[in-house]
Structure 1
Amino acid sequence: MLELRPNCELCNRDLPPASLEARICSYECTYCADCAERVLENVCPSCGGGFVQRPIRPVNDLRGIGLGLANRPPSTARKHSQWTEAQRRELTERLRAVPPQER
């Protein structure tokens, strides 16, 4: 189950569970669309993978089996990128021209 992290790990923008602006890598590093596309250029600074839009978790338990935000709430732990601007830039420069499926 996805953590649904509450913020962009770079600019700290709030990314609530229903945000269409949240982007994640395969390890759930979470960034806003602006940071993922413009600053990071679709290169995760941690793993080097690409980003996709984070899925929206339904609010209600539509099947009565314990799902939905009420039963499976999002994370409240805010995370921040551990990488310096220089480290992010180096990886982005190296990988931005390589499609994510080929990295």
Structure 2
Amino acid sequence: MLELRPNCELCDCDLPPNSLEARICSYECTYCAECAEKTLENVCPSCGGGFVQRPIRPVGDWGGLGLGLANRPAGTKRHHSQWTQEQRRERTELLRSTPPQER
């Protein structure tokens, strides 16, 4: 189950569970669409992978299985990138021309 982190790890904007702006890598590093696309150029500074739109967790338990946000709430701990601007730039320069599926 995804943690659904509450913020962009770079600009710290809020990314609520129903945000269409949230982007994640395969390790669930979370960024807003603008930071993922413009600043990071689709290169995760942690793993070097690309980003996809984070799925929306339904509010209700539509299947009666104890799912939905009411039963499985989103994360509340805010995360912040550990990488410096220079480190992010180096990773982006190295990998941005290689498609994520080939990295």
> How would you bin the TM-score normalised by the shorter chain?
over 0.9
With normalisation by structure 2, the TM-score equals 1.00
Instruction: Work out the number of aligned pairs and report it.
Output: 103
Secondary structure, counterpart of 2:34 in structure 1: helix
CA offsets 1:52-97 (integer angstroms, 9 cap, x no match): 0000000000011100000000000000000000000000000000
Which residue pairs with 2:39 in the alignment? 39
With normalisation by structure 1, the TM-score equals 1.00
Alpha-carbon separation, structure 2, partners of 1:27 and 1:78: 16
Give the aligned CA root-mean-square deviation in angstroms: 0.2
Q: Which runs of structure 1 show a deviation greater than 4 angstroms over 4 or more consecutive aligned residues?
A: none
Which residue pairs with 1:10 in the alignment? 10
Unpaired runs of 5+ in structure 1?
A: none
Which residue pairs with 2:20 in the alignment? 20
Alpha-carbon separation, structure 2, partners of 1:63 and 1:10: 36
Which residue pairs with 1:70 in the alignment? 70
In the TM superposition, residue 21 of structure 1 has moved relative to its aligned partner by 0.1
Unpaired runs of 5+ in structure 2?
A: none
In the TM superposition, residue 19 of structure 1 has moved relative to its aligned partner by 0.2
Q: Determine what percentage of the aligned residue pairs are the same residue.
A: 81
